[in-house]
Amino acid sequence: MSAFFRLAPALLLAALLLAGWEAYCRLAEVPALILPPPSGVLRALLTERESLGRHALSTLQVTALGFSLSIAFAFATSLALHFVPWLQRGLMPLLVASQTIPLVALAPLMILWFGFGLLPKVLLVILVTFFPILLSLLSGYRAAEAAHLDLLASMGAGQWARFRRVRLPSARASFFTGLRISATYAIVATIFAEYAGARSGIGIFILTAKNSFRADLVLAGVVASALLTLGLLALIALVQRLTARRFRMDVTHAGA
Amino acid sequence: MLALEGLTVRTGDSLLVDDLSLELHDGQVTCLIGPSGCGKSSVVKWLAGVLAPGLQAEGLVLLDGAAMPRPAPALAYQPQQDALFPWLTVAENAALGLSLRGLSDRAARAQVRPYFATFGLSGCEDLFPDQLSGGMRQRAAFLRTMVQDTRFVLLDEPFSALDAVTRMRMQDWLCARLAEAPRGVLMVTHDLFEATQMADRILVMSARPGRILADLTLDTPRHLRRDPALAPIRQTLKSLLLEEDPHA
């Protein structure tokens, strides 16, 4: 019951927006070439489902690989930066600067340097998603309660024991927040990389559709991208919930 | 006996504790009282080896006449809040000190389980701290402290977060536990009634910079301490504190 009522406002609003869009297209007789109605986009989704499914799978593979590597790199980097303060002072400005590089400039360069294979796309996903995860981990480590750290210190716990028993569990809620933020960028970054140069993927599907003046297929690609992102977010929420037995705090206070 | 000699704590140019010395005896409860900000908690935290990094401290701790390393195996510390880890079960929380002192996590949990009944926590072993009442949480924290089986225990305002009724129950309960298994206790409190109810000795600290102003020994058995006979000593303590309170 609670899940239904939680989702009801979003579903109702989405239904109203789609109905308004459909009504506008029909009443104003907008050409489908410019703005296809939702029913047209749905039709395109159904007729092109096989092709779109193939491309979406390709996008998903790149995203999954890039995102997984990004989490691993972010965790390893967070350990290094946490335990070596001078490294954090030296590296953080560079990492912040890396986030200011426009994707539109970087994506074609990646293709130029690393070709049309998997590597440039995975690198781009890592570059876009790495930083929010890293920041969320570092701020989570810092959010550990002083009383918990003092208690362990009084028991003779060393730096690693204090990290493993207090800082790491304290960072859990913050880590999942970072994951959710990064997940919303992950699919978009992959599509952007494909757009800059690839053989398959939703980016290529959208590019081909745009070149054929098929606005309905472009929007079908957008819908597929949104669905993949929602799927990724749902997966993260599921992992958070399934591993929450020992972490009652972020289930009760932050939601999943 | 544990002796603290010449403790001075400063923060920048400001002196927080000034050349303070005290002694703790085995099996004796010593309460440390004093006005707000006089450095009571700093004394206990320094002994526990967890003084905030911004504070500079110097002094000497002697255990039976020899210099004591810190953090010391002879000391268990309980911070102001219960400091239970919300992601650990009550049994895992209680076993924390033992596992950090060398036991495996499993062996440490097995070692604390028999104490759950004594600490009024039967059936709570696998619950999480947010499933316990305030008094139960405090008992779980005491269990974690006491199972470390150290000669001396440092308690920093252990009952300050509890409501009045739970606090009185917990004071009686802790006195009973200490009667069964005596430890040398240094307890910081701001509650005169609590100090006169629980202590064998009361050390009164001055306003900042803190030093020992009075050292009172209570000979009345604990079970008689609600008697009006204690009124004069409470009055003495009250007068001392009111004189020292900078906001008076």
Q: From the list B49, B81, B97, which residue is nearest A153 (CB)?
A: B49
Kindly list the residues from chain A whose CB atom is less than 8 angstroms away from the CB atom of residue B75.
154
Residues 6+ positions from A228 with CB-CB distance below 8 Å: A56, A59, A60, A63, A187, A202
CATH number belonging to the domain at A40-253, selected among 3.60.20.10, 1.10.3720.10, 3.50.50.60, 3.40.1190.20: 1.10.3720.10
Give the confidence band of B63 by pLDDT, cuts at 50, 70, 90. Answer: confident
- DSSP class of A163: I
Residue pair B33/B9 in contact (Cβ under 8 Å)? The answer is no
Are residues B100 and A155, on separate chains, in Cβ contact within 8 Å?
Answer: yes
In chain B, what residues touch A148 (CB-CB under 8 Å)? 83, 85
Contact A248 B87 (CB under 8 A): yes
Q: Where is pLDDT greater, at B124 or B71?
A: B124
Nearest to A52 by CA among A185, A188, A194, A222: A222
pLDDT in tens, chain A (256 residues): 577 788 889 899 999 999 999 999 999 888 888 899 999 999 999 999 999 999 999 999 999 999 999 999 999 999 999 999 899 999 889 988 888 888 888 888 888 898 888 899 999 999 999 999 999 999 999 999 999 999 999 888 889 999 999 999 999 999 999 999 999 999 999 998 888 877 889 999 999 999 988 999 999 999 999 999 999 999 999 999 888 766 555 544 433 3
DSSP annotation of A165 reads: I
* Cis bond before residue B86 (omega within 30° of 0): no
Give pLDDT, residue A245: 65
User: Most A CBs within 10 Å: which of B85, B88, B155, as the mutation test of the A interface?
Assistant: B85
Helix (H) / strand (E) element for A211: namely helix A202-211
**CB neighbours of residue A24 within 10 Å:** 13
Q: Minimal Cα–Cα distance from A143 to chain B, Å?
A: 14
Residue of chain A whose alpha carbon sits nearest to that of B49: A154
Farthest-apart Cα atoms in chain B, separation = 53
Strands of the B14-24 sheet, one edge to the other: B14-24, B2-11, B56-63, B66-67
| Residues B27-49, mean pLDDT to the nearest whole number | 90
Detail the DSSP E strand segments found in chain A: none
Structure tokens at B16: 């927080």
Give how far A153 is from chain B: nearest CA, Å.
7
**Distance of CA B24 to CAs A194, B4, B178, Å?**
72, 8, 15
Q: Break chain A into its structural domains and give their ranges.
A: 40-253
Q: b or e along B101-139 (b: 16 or more beta carbons within 10 Å of the residue's beta carbon)? A: bebeeeebbebbeeebeebebeebeeebbeebeebbbbb
Residues B205, B211: contact at Cβ < 8 Å? yes
Question: Three-state SS for A9?
Answer: helix
Task: Please give the pLDDT value at position B223.
Answer: 65
Would the pLDDT of B187 be above 50? Answer: yes
With CA atoms as reference, report the closest residue to B134 among B113, B163, B112: B163
How far is Cα B245 from Cα B41, in angstroms, rounded to an integer? 16
pLDDT for res A161: 92
Residue (of B23, B3, B25) closest to B151 by Cα position: B25
Q: How far apart are the first and last CA of chain B?
A: 36
What's the ipTM? 0.83
Pick from B71, B78, B88: which is nearest to A156 by CB?
A: B71
Chain-centre distance for alpha carbon B162: 15
Average pLDDT over residues B88-92: 93
Contact A216, A46 (CB under 8 A): no
B17-41 average pLDDT score: 90
* Contact assignment for B87 to A249 by CB distance below 8 Å: yes
pLDDT score of B158: 87
Q: Do B101 and A161 touch (CB under 8 A)?
A: no
Give the pLDDT mean for B4-8. 89
Q: In b/e form, how buried is each residue of A211-238, taking b as 16+ CB within 10 angstroms? A: eeebbbbbbbbebbbeebbeebeeebee
Cβ contact A234:A249 at 8 Å: no
Candidate ranges A114-123, B162-171, B233-242; pick with highest mean pLDDT = A114-123
- Min distance A202 CA to chain B CA atoms (Å): 41
* Alpha-carbon gap, residue B74 to B40, rounded angstroms: 20
Total beta-carbon pairs less than 8 A apart between chain A and chain B? 64
A198 to chain B, closest Cα gap in Å: 45
Compute the distance between CA of residue B79 and CA of residue B120 in angstroms, rounded to an integer.
21
pLDDT above 80 (res B140): yes
- Are the Cβ atoms of B100 and A169 closer than 8 angstroms? no
Residue B192, min C-alpha distance to chain A (Å): 25
Overall average pLDDT of the B191-205 stretch: 89
CA-based nearest residue in chain B for residue A169 = B87
* Chain B residues close to A156, C-beta within 8 Å: 71, 73, 100-101
Does B73 contact A154 at a Cβ distance shorter than 8 Å? no
Task: Indicate the pLDDT class of residue B52, thresholds 50, 70 and 90.
Answer: confident
Give just the sign of the alpha carbon dihedral B225, B226, B228, B231.
Answer: positive
Q: Is A248 on the interface with B (CB under 8 A)?
A: yes
3-state secondary structure B127-178: CCHHHCCHHHHHHHHHHHHHCCCCCEEEEECCCCCCCHHHHHHHHHHHHHHH
Average pLDDT over residues B10-27: 89
Residue A223: φ, ψ to 5°: -60, -45
Q: Which residues of B touch A (CB under 8 A)?
A: 45, 48-50, 71, 73, 75-81, 83, 85-88, 96-97, 100-101, 128, 130, 148, 154
Helix A215-242 to helix A38-47 angle (10° resolution) is 80
* Angstrom distance (rounded) from CA B199 to CA A106: 70
pTM of the shown model = 0.81
Å from B206 to nearest chain A CA?
26
Specify the long-range contacts of residues A162-166, CB closer than 8 Å, at least 24 apart: A163/A82, A163/A83, A165/B85, A165/B96, A166/B85
pLDDT at A165: 93
> Around B149, how many Cα atoms within 13 Å sit in the side-chain half-sphere?
7
